[in-house]
A and B are shown apart, each in its own frame.
Chain A
Amino acid sequence: MKQHHAAKWLALLGLVVMACGGLFYAVSIRHGDWGLIGAGAGLAIVLLAALVAHEAVGAFFAKRSARLGLGSGVAILAVLALVMFLGALSARHHVRWDFSQGQMNTLSPQTVKVLKGLKEPVKAYAFFKDDQAGRMQADEELGKYSYVSRLFTYRFVNPDAEPGLAKAMKVRNYGTVVLVGGGREEQVQLPEEQELTNALIRLGKKGKKRIYFLTGHGEPALDGVAKDDFTSLRKALEAANYEVKSLMLVTSDQVPPDAAVVIMASPKMALMSQEIERLSAYWDQGGAIMLLLDPESDGGLKTWLKAKGVVLGDDLVIDQASRLAGLSPLAPLASEYGFHDITKMMSGTFCFFPQARSVTLETNLPKGIKGEELVKTSPASWATDYKGFLAWYQAQLDKMKQSQGQQGAIELKPGKDDRKGPLSLGAALSKQGQTGKDQAARKVTSRLVVFGDADFANNEFLELAGNHDLALNSVSWLAADDNLVAIRAKSRKNQPLLLQPGQERLLFWIPLVVWPLLLALVGVVIIIRRRRTR
Chain B
Amino acid sequence: MRAFLAIYRREMASYFHSPVAYVVLVAFMLLTGYFFYAGVSFYTLASLQVMQNPMMMELNLQDHLMGGLISNMSVILLFAAPLLTMRLLAEERKSGTLELLLSYPLSDVSVVLGKFFAAWSVLGLMVAATWVQTILLSFMAPMAWLPLAISYGGLLLMVGAFAAFGVWTSSLTENQIVAAFAGFLPLIILWAVGWAAPLVKPSLGEILKGLSLGTHFQGFPKGLVDTADLAYFVLFIGLFIFLSIRTLEAKRWKA
Give chain A's interface residues, CB within 8 Å of chain B: 26-27, 29, 32, 64-65, 68-69, 72, 75-76, 79-80, 83, 86-88, 90-91, 94-101, 104-105, 130, 135, 155-156, 158, 491-499, 503-504, 506-508, 510-512, 515-516, 519-520, 522-524, 526-527, 530
Contact = CB atoms under 8 A, between A and B. Distances in A.
B223 A98 contact: yes
Interface in B20-64: 21-23, 25-26, 29-30, 32-34, 36-37, 40-41, 43-44, 47-48, 50-51, 54, 58-63
Nearest to B253: A68
Interface stretch (B2-10, B77-85, B103-111, B242-250): B242-250
Contacts of B19: 523, 527
A79 to B, nearest CB: 6
B253 A507 contact: no
B1 interface: no
Counting from the closest, the 7 A-B pairs by CB-CB distance are A523-B22, A100-B223, A90-B231, A496-B47, A94-B228, A511-B33, A512-B33
B225 interface: yes
Nearest to A517: B26
Interface string B228-251: 100110010011001100100110
B146 interface: yes
A77 to B, nearest CB: 11
B58 A497 contact: no
Nearest to A102: B60
5 contacts: A98-B223, A101-B144, A105-B219, A516-B30, A523-B22
Nearest to A526: B16
Contacts of B238: 83
B199 A130 contact: yes
Contacts of A158: 198
Contact of B58 (A79, A494, A506, A510): A494
Interface residues of B, number: 71
Interface string B183-206: 000000000000010111110100
Nearest to B59: A496
Nearest to B50: A496
B28 to A, nearest CB: 9
A503 B225 CA distance: 33
Interface stretch (B88-96, B112-120, B129-137, B159-167): B129-137
A72 B249 contact: yes
Interface-centre pick from A68, A72, A86, A100 (highest chain B CB count, 10 A): A100
Contacts of A96: 219, 224-227
Contacts of B201: 26, 29, 32
B200 A516 contact: no
B232 A494 contact: no
Contacts of A105: 219, 222-224
B210 interface: yes
B204 A494 contact: no
Given A65-B254, A492-B63, A511-B136, A90 B29 contact: no
Contacts of B51: 496, 498
Contacts of A512: 30, 33-34, 36-37
A90 B228 CA distance: 5
A494 B228 contact: no
B58 A491 contact: yes
Interface string B146-158: 1100100000000
B242 A94 contact: no
A290 B186 CA distance: 62
Contacts of B242: 76, 79
Nearest to A130: B198
B50 A494 contact: yes
A86 B25 CA distance: 35
Given A497-B47, A508-B37, A526-B16, 11 more contacts: A26-B201, A76-B246, A87-B235, A94-B226, A95-B227, A491-B58, A496-B50, A498-B47, A499-B40, A512-B37, A520-B26
B197 to A, nearest CB: 9
Contacts of B100: none
Contact of A504 (B26, B41, B147): B41
A104 B58 CA distance: 13
Nearest to A158: B198
A307 to B, nearest CB: 35
B142 A100 contact: no
Nearest to A153: B202
Contacts of B16: 526
B198 A156 contact: yes
B10 to A, nearest CB: 15
Contact of B48 (A491, A498, A506, A510): A498
A75 B232 contact: no
A36 B231 CA distance: 32
Contacts of B253: 64-65, 68-69
A87 B232 contact: yes
A492 B60 contact: yes
A97 B132 contact: no
Given A508-B37, A511-B36, A511-B132, A83 B59 contact: no
A253 to B, nearest CB: 49
Nearest to A496: B47
B108 to A, nearest CB: 12
B243 A76 contact: yes
Contacts of B231: 86-87, 90, 94
A493 B60 contact: yes
B69 to A, nearest CB: 11
A503 B140 contact: yes
A266 B119 CA distance: 78
B223 A511 contact: no
A101 to B, nearest CB: 5
A44 B237 CA distance: 35
A135 B132 CA distance: 35
A70 B45 CA distance: 62
